[in-house]
Amino acid sequence: MVKNASVKREGSDLLVKWRDKSVTVSVADLELVIIIGSNVNMSSEVLLFLSSQNVPVAIHGKYSDVVLVSPFMNSMSDVRSKQYCMSEDRKIILAKRFIEGKVRGMFNVAKYFGYLNQIEVKVEELDLRGVNDLNSLRLIEAEYGRKAWDELKKFLPREFTGRKPRNEDPINRAIDYAYSIIYSLCTHALIAVGLDPYAGVMHSNFPGRLSFTYDFSEMFKSVAVHVVISSSRRVKLSLDKKGYLSKESAEYITKYLYTILRKKKVRSAIYRLAYKVRKFVTDLVDFEPFIYKPKG
């Protein structure tokens, strides 16, 4: 992972140069390209090549993330037409599955660190059976999200006062960064099964916003939180002079996150759940949400 770099194509490889250093990377070994900030030079030839190889490109900025993914499903038109025509009742059911996965996963992470540190954790039981509209669901998700973070911050450095997206502190920046990787994998998985990552059911739709990615990724955010908490207890996370996560911190989190994604089979779960969401949309087949269990 480098910053202020240039990326060029050399046959089936990428040549990455920065300062007086360079490295050659085989595209066959790439699952995802992550660009931090705006100081990386990459030609359209490189982007076209990565697109042809179905390698997503994630651009992690201070205030937003962008994921570039090439669509490659022949059945996309039929799947998306059904996605766009989902009834409000179906959207609510789908959103409830995503939020159930998120909240229970977050409290599982809190319980895990509570057990390791012999600290009592208050777990709030989630009951969404009486929720019949999206606004009520958003309010409940916000309430339980606050409660989960009240428990999770017990295991983070004292200077972390709470979850604030895009805030100028190392922990929030680290969470933003880890989330951006989850968003990239989720976007790739949704497109792979023919779904539109921009057509949200719970997150509002805006031009260029990956609303359905944000909906779907709720189930997997607890994995990123687990990684950031563990990382912050092993190394000192820091920012660089431009306010981005430092190179060393980003490298550590990336390696640790991918270790968890593979060891706990979370990466395969993302693609498996994307297919189940497709079946929910096209064939009305219900599914159980992904609930992360660190000790599982």
Residue with tokens 């995802």, as numbered in its chain: 32
Report the predicted TM-score, pTM, of the whole model to 2 decimal places.
0.87
Domain boundary among 40, 70, 100: 70
Both tokens assigned to 50: 């990565």
Query: Taking a C-beta distance cutoff of 8 angstroms, is the pair 183, 197 a contact?
Result: no
pLDDT at residue 247 in the model: 93
CA 244 to each of CA 27, 163, 217, 234, 252: distance values in angstroms, whole numbers, following the listed order: 26, 17, 23, 20, 14
Both tokens assigned to 281: 């949309």
Closest CA to 253 of 236, 231, 275: 231
Residues 184 and 53 grouped into a single domain: no
Closest CA to 281 of 78, 84, 85, 83: 83
Residues 238 and 201 grouped into a single domain: yes
Task: Give kind and range of the element (H or E) at residue 251.
Answer: helix 247-263
Residues 142 and 246 grouped into a single domain: yes
* DSSP helix/strand/coil, 106: helix
Domain boundary among 70, 99, 117: 70
Residues 166 and 57 grouped into a single domain: no
Residues 215 and 270 grouped into a single domain: yes
pLDDT at residue 1 in the model: 56
Domain boundary among 19, 38, 70: 70
Residues 29 and 119 grouped into a single domain: no
Q: How does DSSP classify residue 14?
A: E
Residues 237 and 253 grouped into a single domain: yes
Residues 63 and 179 grouped into a single domain: no
Structural domain span for residue 29: 1-70
Phi/psi at 212 (5° precision)? -75, -30
Q: Specify if 288 maps to a domain.
A: no
pLDDT of the chain, 296 residues: tens digit per residue: 555 788 999 887 889 988 888 889 887 778 889 888 888 888 888 988 888 788 889 899 888 888 888 765 556 788 999 999 999 999 999 999 999 999 999 999 999 999 999 999 999 899 998 899 999 999 999 999 999 999 999 999 999 999 999 999 999 999 999 999 999 999 999 998 999 999 999 998 888 899 999 999 999 999 999 999 999 999 999 999 999 999 999 999 999 999 999 999 999 999 999 999 999 999 999 999 999 999 75
Closest CA to 173 of 260, 249, 254: 249
Question: Domain of 254: which CATH number?
Answer: 1.20.120.920
Residues 64 and 89 grouped into a single domain: no
Q: Specify if 293 maps to a domain.
A: no
Q: Specify if 290 maps to a domain.
A: no
Burial of residue 113 (CB within 10 Å: 0-12, 13-18, 19+) is buried
Q: Specify if 295 maps to a domain.
A: no
Closest CA to 32 of 51, 56, 2, 49: 56
Residues 175 and 256 grouped into a single domain: yes
Tally of domains in the chain: 2
Question: Domain of 34: which CATH number?
Answer: 3.100.10.20
Q: Specify if 89 maps to a domain.
A: yes
Q: Specify if 94 maps to a domain.
A: yes
